[in-house]
Amino acid sequence: MLRESAGHALTTTSIQRRPITKTSAAVAVVGCGYWGSKHVRVLSGLPSVSQVFAVDANSQTRDQMKTAFPNATVAPDLAGVLRFVDGVIVATPPHNHVEVAALALRAGKSVLIEKPITTSLRDAQRLVRIGKRNGAAVVAGHTYEFNPIVHDLRRRIVAGEFGEIRYLHSERLNLGLYRTDVNVIWDLAPHDISIMNFLLNETPRSVRAWGVSCAGGNMIDVAHFQLEYPENGIVGTGFNSWTDPRRVRQLTIVGSKKMAVFDDVAEEKLKIFDHSVKLQTIPVTRSAVAIDLPAATYNRGDVIIPKIDYEEPLHIEDRKFVEGLLNPSRDSTQTHSGVEVVRVLEAIDLSIATGKPVLVKNRGAVPVH
């Protein structure tokens, strides 16, 4: 068993790597705070993982990892354990994802990087290039893309169950936690954007956004954004806040035939509404003048709570990442998703800064004059 000796940094010479079989891999989680510790938990229970390295710069966090996961190997930095692992999960704060991921990729190790994969489009593209050069994959930790409920919704959209999609609306609100390296959009909106891109199978053409710093200082802590998708001009809207009294994780889909609400903090997470509204104009003659009057017809049918076989999304995400390590030839579409989300985040920032709509171009955000 590998351990950090008391009071000393782990040295590479003290490490004996367990034999890697065709069916298992050694994985390092770098950053074992709130979210990284969940990766350590999930990986520790995967039969396809031979060894988990819990890497954290903070000695108290390392102590907590040792106690909570006695079978994991604890280390203070990635460099010291890199040659003993097959893949790396980057769960440090967003501003140093690029540095940690680049170190792993240069050593030919595939990475799963937590959202947002980087804090700039340039860095995201740079990581993809480094990965390609070294034969290593860059996978985005967009947890909702592994969520069985989101997959169920996409299946229903593709099957036409909702009819024409009128709009999507996503809310992600809570009181804190304030991050110091990214604003509320880069913290929370990666989920909203990745879900919408995944459901519609495309990326937005343009973005409009508004954001303010409610609690003082310069950090934007409340934001609204609107994403316009090219196909049929579908609009997705989002609301993110670190200053809301409620904890909300909710997506609404409104279609011409049916509607849905995915509430990730509710017990009954998905509800499908056999509800719709149709607006027609009826020609009438008033005082010898012909006019068109709007007339709405409403359908208020059943509300269904579908049964969905649920597996923890993080479990699916990590399992698939490890499968990719064991079958490296398998192409990862996740890279595309990570870069596209960062591209939209930059466009949202620019729209807030300029107060104008912004085109989301292949090369980055461009303000609409």
Binding site for ligand NAD (CB under 6 A): 30-36, 55-58, 61, 77, 91-94, 96, 100, 114-115, 141, 143
Contact between residue 138 and residue 335 where contact means Cβ atoms under 8 Å apart = yes
- Describe the chain by its helix, strand, coil percentages, rounded to 5: 35, 35, 35
Instruction: Report which DSSP code applies to 357.
Output: -
- Least Cβ distance, residue 143 to ligand NAD (angstroms): 4
Lookup: tokens for 304: 């269904």
Nearer to ligand NAD, 104 or 261 (CB): 104
Lookup: tokens for 243: 């200053």
Nearer to ligand NAD, 141 or 324 (CB): 141
- Least Cβ distance, residue 299 to ligand NAD (angstroms): 36
Token look-up 């994991």 returns 72
Q: Which residue is nearest to ligand NAD (CB)?
A: 33
Nearer to ligand NAD, 62 or 258 (CB): 62
- Least Cβ distance, residue 56 to ligand NAD (angstroms): 4
Chain-centroid distance of CA 159 in Å reads 24
Give counts: helices (H), strands (E), the chain.
Answer: 8, 16
Contact between residue 323 and residue 109 where contact means Cβ atoms under 8 Å apart = no
Chain-centroid distance of CA 270 in Å reads 19
- Least Cβ distance, residue 36 to ligand NAD (angstroms): 5
Nearer to ligand NAD, 77 or 202 (CB): 77
Nearer to ligand NAD, 33 or 108 (CB): 33
Nearer to ligand NAD, 147 or 351 (CB): 147
Query: Where do the H-state alpha helices sit in the chain?
Result: 36-44, 59-68, 97-106, 121-133, 148-158, 184-200, 313-326, 334-354
